[in-house]
Amino acid sequence: MLSKLSLVLCNTLIWFLLNGSLFAQTKCTADLGDNAGPKQLDSINLLSGSYIQNINTHLVEDLENIDSPYEKEIKESYEKRVEKLSSLSSKGHFFYDADLLNKINEIGDRLIAANDIKNKDRINWVLNRTGNPNASCVGEGTLIINLGLISNLHNLEQLAFVMAHELGHYHLDHVNKKIEETYEFLNSEELQKKIENASNDKEMAAEELLEMLDEKSLSISKHSRDHEVETDKLGFEFYTKAGFPADQAVEALKVLKHIDKGKYPSANFSEIFGDLDQVWKPTWTKTRLSGLSLVKPDEAEIEKYRTHPETTVRIEQLLELGGIEKEASINQEWCQMAMTIDLEILEYSYWIGDKFDSFVFATQLFELNQQNEFVNNILANCLADFVIAKEEHTFSNIVPFPNIKMSDHHFDGATFLDNINFSALKKIALAWIEKNVNFDNDSLEAINALAIKMQIINKNLGEEDLNKFTTKWPDSHYLK
């Protein structure tokens, strides 16, 4: 049996194993026009229910086939994994758009048909609504692709390479092997002896145990990098056997090399908000950093814990395997689809309560699509949220302080919101809402919620006007 301390270490390590990122451009943009925004999907409950049924059926098989001295612990990990996936699906965190799923499944079927992949009948391709540009193999058959990753890619062929990479992890059973290796470590005589001999001094004991965890984390990081090298090789084999072009595998890694910088440039806040009958102050976007906010991340430390090899090394390996470097080409039809996906990402970001990220992303989308009502409405909601938060002294809970570790676009957004005073922010919010929000279109939940917020921050909506708005938006608690 594991000690309580071992269980704590176990939970930390399992989280580390299951939450690592896959990766880390030429620009791919399009015109949204007056696209009304994300659509409600009637099939979501049906598709979600089918997926949950599938993974629970597979769970029964997995539990019956565990052959390990740590059967109880592994069983609990498998059960929690399926419980988490079921919860995410049933609560709306997965994206069930038929057109995009059909594209994903067509690629997946082509890859699977061309290669001998273990347990291929239980594979489920799942789309996560988050903007985090990542993909992952969960281990029991679920292969997750985040909308944020799809949005950053340039064509279906690049997506196919990402999917082939994840199929490589699944075929090699990396996740389940890591889970068992973790329990082997936690139950090892060496670790148990160290725990028993830990200093009676609590501070010293904590330091000793953290050193043990750090040692294991470094081992995991190195092991993960080895797995990625192995998986890139196998994934490229899967990819080319299915007839996909070798050059787009290399191009996909080139996109991923710079993906953390973001798809769009930072917004110009003076251009966005400077014409709202306000006197724009340049100090609102002036950088004011000092103290800890100026401390840069230690590159050596980052490298130690990197779970994936540096992308340049991965590109070199593909070139050695027969990959080809080719001048990047942009598929405009794909770009149009990717821009529509950006609306879904924006909606999801606001829906989960990440109002700062929603604000930053909305300003970036606004500069490219100034007439899009959905983008304007989300931006209006964020501004109203910030005004209310300042009034309620909860602003620091939803807007981070500017920090040099942030991406450029997040840093610029945090700087603007940190510098602008309450009175000016309120004026900008109300002027923006008056100029850019069409309250006659009461079909959008974002507008409905905004009407309630407007009454709170300006008391300028009559009872008759307010009564026509109903809302299912997460901020409905403002309705009193």
Q: Determine the distance from the C-alpha atom of residue 73 to the mean position of all C-alpha atoms in its chain, rounded to a whole number.
A: 29
Same domain assignment for residues 314 and 387: no
In a domain, 342, yes or no: no
Same domain assignment for residues 14 and 92: yes
In a domain, 86, yes or no: yes
How many domains does the chain fold into? 2
Q: Determine the distance from the C-alpha atom of residue 129 to the mean position of all C-alpha atoms in its chain, rounded to a whole number.
A: 8
CA distance 17 to 428: 45
Same domain assignment for residues 96 and 166: yes
In a domain, 272, yes or no: no
Dihedrals phi, psi of 264, to nearest 5 degrees: -120, 155
The pLDDT tens digits along the chain (480 residues) read: 444 334 434 444 443 344 443 333 446 666 666 555 565 454 466 678 889 999 999 999 999 999 999 999 999 999 999 999 999 998 889 998 888 999 999 999 999 999 999 999 999 999 999 999 999 999 999 999 999 999 999 999 999 999 999 999 999 999 999 899 888 877 877 767 766 666 555 555 556 556 656 555 545 444 455 668 888 899 999 999 999 999 999 999 998 888 888 889 999 999 999 888 677 888 998 887 655 444 455 554 444 434 455 778 888 888 888 888 877 667 788 888 888 899 999 989 988 999 999 999 999 999 988 888 888 888 988 998 898 888 888 999 999 999 888 888 999 999 999 999 998 998 898 888 878 877 666 555 555 566 666 666 665 555 555 454 444 333 433 332
Instruction: Report the pLDDT value the prediction gives residue 475, as an integer from 0 to 100.
Output: 40
Tokens read off for 413: 């957004």
In a domain, 60, yes or no: yes
Same domain assignment for residues 305 and 385: no
pTM above 0.75, yes or no: yes
The per-residue pLDDT for range 53-77, each reduced to its tens digit, is 999 999 999 999 999 999 999 999 9
Same domain assignment for residues 72 and 150: yes
Residue whose token pair is 């390996």: 317
Same domain assignment for residues 81 and 194: yes
Structural domain of 96: 4-265+297-320
In a domain, 90, yes or no: yes
Same domain assignment for residues 310 and 373: no
Same domain assignment for residues 230 and 357: no
In a domain, 328, yes or no: no
In a domain, 290, yes or no: no
Same domain assignment for residues 313 and 415: no
Task: Determine how many CB atoms are found less than 10 A away from the CB of residue 184.
Answer: 13
Instruction: Report the pLDDT value the prediction gives residue 196, as an integer from 0 to 100.
Output: 66
Same domain assignment for residues 468 and 392: yes
Instruction: Report the pLDDT value the prediction gives residue 8, as an integer from 0 to 100.
Output: 37
Same domain assignment for residues 314 and 165: yes
The per-residue pLDDT for range 129-154, each reduced to its tens digit, is 999 999 999 999 999 999 999 999 99
Q: Tell me the C-alpha to C-alpha distance, in Å, between residue 131 and each of 97, 127, 146, 150, 151.
A: 16, 11, 7, 9, 8
Determine the length of the chain: 480
230, 236 contact by CB (below 8 A): no
In a domain, 277, yes or no: no
Same domain assignment for residues 316 and 457: no
